[in-house]
Chain A
Amino acid sequence: MTAATETDRALVDRVAKGDRAAVRLLFMRHHARVYRFVARQTGSEMMADDIANEVFLELWRQAPGFEGRSEVSTWLLGIARFKALSLLRKKKEDWIDDEAAAAVPDSADTPEVVTMKEDKAAALRRFIDALPEEHRAVIDLAYYHGQSVTEIGEVLNIPVATVKTRMFYSRKKLGEALKAAGYDRGWP
């Protein structure tokens, strides 16, 4: 356990006792990552804004029940994931579909044509963005949020074996996309 983690937990203890300053500190520490996680999951920054706020209000409400079995960051991402999925199920508004549609690359350009305009790093980033949400979430949680296999399982509420399977197929798809774009990396 790192010192930073202990500090997070100490702050949650303070929140549990009604310390509003502590929840604001946790907000400043974790908000950007929670916001980005939800934005990537939902494809909507508007929803990310609402949900990220709700996550920290939930932290305020639920802090007395936090048992410290997981890291605070994992706990927050788990709340965010649950809220995002709940909202996505409730809301089927057209604007969500529009935003998702806007994220899909223009079919007028083949992947090869598009990639020719980019360098490998930009292509890779685009391929990551184009992964199915359940695969992209595993990539984001591992690479950007620094989560372990077990922690990703907690956030996404899936078994550890499923986390590994999704990671395998995510990386395999990225490799195949890169290969199709002329960047053969030797695997898969």
Chain B
Amino acid sequence: MSAAEKMSRRDEMETLLPFYLNGSLEGSELEAVEEWLATDPAALAALGEAEAEFSGASAANEAIRPPADALSRFARALDAEAGPARAQAGSSWLAQAWSRFMAVPVGVAWAAAAVLLALIAVQSLVQPGGKGKDFEIAGAEDDLTKMPFALVRFKPDAKMSDIAVFLDANKLKIIGGPTADGIFRLGIPAANAADYTKQLGLIAAQPFADTVIEGRKPADGG
């Protein structure tokens, strides 16, 4: 082996030593360094020098002290962040509905979008700040909060497009929910109790309806 080749190998080994020390070297390069350390008398001294550099670099970095209040300031900045649209934990009904919505035909997409917007608004209200409440109201309008309603749970395999078309055709609105067990409050634009009962029957007859519970009836009580 010529002097030039020896120097080249030494240079290569010196280049790899920091990675040998930090434990990230592997494969043929690790074997080469280990073989060098085992056979070249100069290698152990070189390793000692690299260890000194290791200590020097660590000391130079550790001398920099982050501000003590960094976490509290970051926490405030984080609280101000809305964050991107995120997948809900697990496979929630809304997440499944959204997935199905993405595949609905264009012709019904607008209706589904209207419902989804309502659902997303509702969903946003029942996220962390709304835990523990039975219902959250999608809008502040009095006509929504006072209107007759029913409690409805949809089947897990319900298609968003089917629900959207049905709600739109019957002027029904989702005005609250879902609760933890997936129940929505559905506004019923019924003028009287008889009409209310009729509409409840219609909802219950839909293939996507799982549970329909009577809520507030119109003023005449029925």
Contact = CB atoms under 8 A, between A and B. Distances in A.
Interface residues of B, number: 48
A145 B39 CA distance: 29
Interface string B1-22: 0000000001100111111011
A142 B70 CA distance: 26
A27 B71 CA distance: 7
A187 interface: yes
Interface residues on A, range: 35 or more
A143 B78 contact: no
A49 B11 contact: no
A127 B49 CA distance: 14
Which has the most chain A C-beta neighbours within 10 Å: B45, B54, B56, B58? Answer: B56
B66 interface: yes
Contact of A185 (B16, B49, B55, B81): B49
B67 to A, nearest CB: 6
Interface stretch (A33-41, A90-98, A104-112): A33-41
Contact of B53 (A28, A35, A52, A143): A143
Contact of A167 (B18, B66, B78): B18
Contacts of A174: 53
Given A18-B86, A36-B66, A121-B55, A142 B61 contact: no
Given A120-B52, A128-B60, A171-B15, A56 B74 contact: yes
B56 A146 contact: no
A69 interface: no
B77 A53 contact: yes
B19 A142 contact: yes
Given A27-B74, A143-B58, A187-B46, A16 B87 contact: yes
Interface in A1-50: 16-18, 20, 23-24, 27-28, 31-33, 35-36, 39-40, 45, 48-49
Contacts of B66: 31-32, 35-36, 48-49, 52
Interface of A: 16-18, 20, 23-24, 27-28, 31-33, 35-36, 39-40, 45, 48-49, 52-53, 56-57, 60-61, 64, 120-121, 124-125, 127-129, 139-140, 142-144, 146-149, 151, 164, 167-168, 171-172, 174-175, 185-188
Given A164-B15, A187-B14, 17 more contacts: A16-B86, A18-B86, A35-B66, A36-B64, A36-B66, A48-B64, A48-B66, A121-B59, A127-B56, A128-B60, A140-B60, A144-B60, A171-B17, A171-B53, A185-B49, A186-B42, A188-B14
10 contacts: A18-B83, A23-B78, A53-B74, A124-B52, A128-B57, A129-B60, A143-B58, A171-B50, A175-B49, A185-B45
